[in-house]
């Protein structure tokens, strides 16, 4: 990681998030050296916003954290970055391109997802997350063009839903339901049944993972950056193995810590495609 950040501050953030998203470190090796620190910082920033939205249990601290990031990102756009992640971004890309209102909208949407009502079906659930990740993808394309906003938004939404499912107990405890209501009705289960291991809940999870596999297969990886491309490829692999497992939820959790070789290949292809686009 020292090649990403000589003083080690940014490297500590990359190391922190690589523990939960191991494809991050793999993909950074295929990111152009001139943008490696900025791309890594942006990926870590996304993880920080996600943690504030979904990882902090109490709503008030989560709101304060997201408000702080809103103010910090607006200040960074004025050349007044104070956080290592925004400083790394500001050193490599023109943050002034992004209006403060864009960051404010992203942070507000992130908090609103904490209290979103359960989705009626799978498409609605994924659309709720896309409402957050589409403006975030637009910001990323402003900073790191050329990228495909729709594909980036869909890949990020899928990744979030996969991780919400893997951390099902924590999501349920926080009042979030990362599964559609029609799936519960089809399997004749209530929300409280999901926390109980058994054949019925495993069958429901296999059904949902199968639906997510279909969604993942339909995402065109062209136009993704190496990090998003590697994550999408790894998530496809994780979903396939978990759906086939006797205990799908446990299998999904186990594979979040692993990165298949195919993810490395996906990152390489994204780098090649980006190089061609940039030179055309």
**What is the structure's pLDDT at 7?**
54
Question: What pTM, to 2 d.p., does this model score?
Answer: 0.91
Q: Residue 1: inside a domain, yes or no? A: no
Q: Pick the residue with more confidence: 5 or 243? A: 243
- 190-211 tens-digit pLDDT: 998 997 889 999 999 999 999 9
Q: Which of 46, 143, 153, 157 is nearest to 98 (CA)?
A: 143
Q: Which of 44, 42, 37, 2 is nearest to 19 (CA)?
A: 44
Q: Both tokens of residue 218?
A: 């339909």
**What is the structure's pLDDT at 231?**
96
Q: Where are the alpha helices (H) located in the chain, listed in sequence order?
A: 9-18, 23-28, 36-50, 59-77, 84-92, 100-112, 122-144, 149-166, 168-173, 181-187, 199-217, 226-244, 248-255, 261-279
Q: Residue 3: inside a domain, yes or no? A: no
Q: Which of 10, 169, 185 is nearest to 88 (CA)?
A: 10
Q: 123 Cβ partners below 8 Å, 6+ apart? A: none
Q: Residue 35: inside a domain, yes or no? A: yes
- 4-17 tens-digit pLDDT: 444 578 889 999 99
Which structural domain range is residue 110 located in?
A: 9-275
Number of domains the chain contains: 1
- 128-145 tens-digit pLDDT: 999 999 999 999 999 987
Give the residue-averaged pLDDT of 44-54.
Answer: 93
Confidence band for 82, pLDDT divided at 50, 70 and 90 = very high
Give the residue-averaged pLDDT of 247-273.
Answer: 94
Q: Residue 2: inside a domain, yes or no? A: no
The domain that holds 122 is classified in CATH as 1.10.600.10
**What is the structure's pLDDT at 8?**
79
Query: Rounded to an integer, what distance in angstroms lies between the CA atom of residue 274 and that of residue 254?
Result: 32
Nearest-5° angle of CA 250, CA 229, CA 277?
175
Residue 3 has pLDDT above 80, yes or no: no
- What Å distances lie between residue 216 and 103, 232, 239, 240, 258, CA to CA? 27, 7, 9, 10, 18
């Amino acid at each position: 990681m020292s090649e990403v950040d000589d003083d080690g501050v940014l490297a500590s953030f990359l190391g922190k998030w690589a523990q939960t998203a191991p494809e991050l470190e793999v993909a950074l090796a295929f990111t152009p050296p001139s943008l490696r620190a900025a791309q890594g910082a942006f990926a870590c920033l996304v993880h920080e916003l996600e943690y504030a939205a979904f990882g902090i249990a109490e709503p008030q601290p989560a709101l304060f954290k997201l408000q702080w990031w809103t103010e910090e990102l607006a200040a960074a756009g004025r050349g007044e970055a104070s956080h290592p992640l925004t400083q790394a971004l500001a050193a490599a890309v023109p943050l002034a391109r992004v209006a403060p209102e864009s960051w404010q909208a992203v942070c507000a949407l992130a908090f609103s997802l904490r209290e979103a009502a359960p989705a009626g079906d799978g498409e609605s659930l994924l659309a709720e997350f896309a409402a957050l990740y589409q403006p975030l993808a637009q910001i990323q394309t402003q900073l790191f063009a050329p990228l495909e906003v729709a594909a980036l938004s869909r890949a990020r939404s899928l990744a979030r839903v996969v991780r919400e499912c893997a951390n099902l107990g924590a999501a349920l405890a926080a009042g979030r339901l990362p599964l559609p209501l029609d799936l519960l009705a089809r399997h004749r289960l209530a929300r409280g049944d999901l926390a109980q291991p058994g054949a019925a809940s495993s069958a429901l999870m296999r059904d949902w993972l199968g639906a997510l596999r279909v969604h993942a297969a339909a995402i065109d990886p062209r136009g993704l950056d190496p990090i998003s491309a590697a994550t999408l490829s790894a998530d496809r692999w994780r979903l396939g193995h978990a759906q086939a497992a006797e205990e799908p939820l446990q299998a999904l959790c186990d594979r979040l810590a692993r990165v298949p070789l195919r993810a490395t290949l996906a990152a390489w292809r994204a780098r090649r495609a980006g190089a061609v686009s940039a030179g055309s």
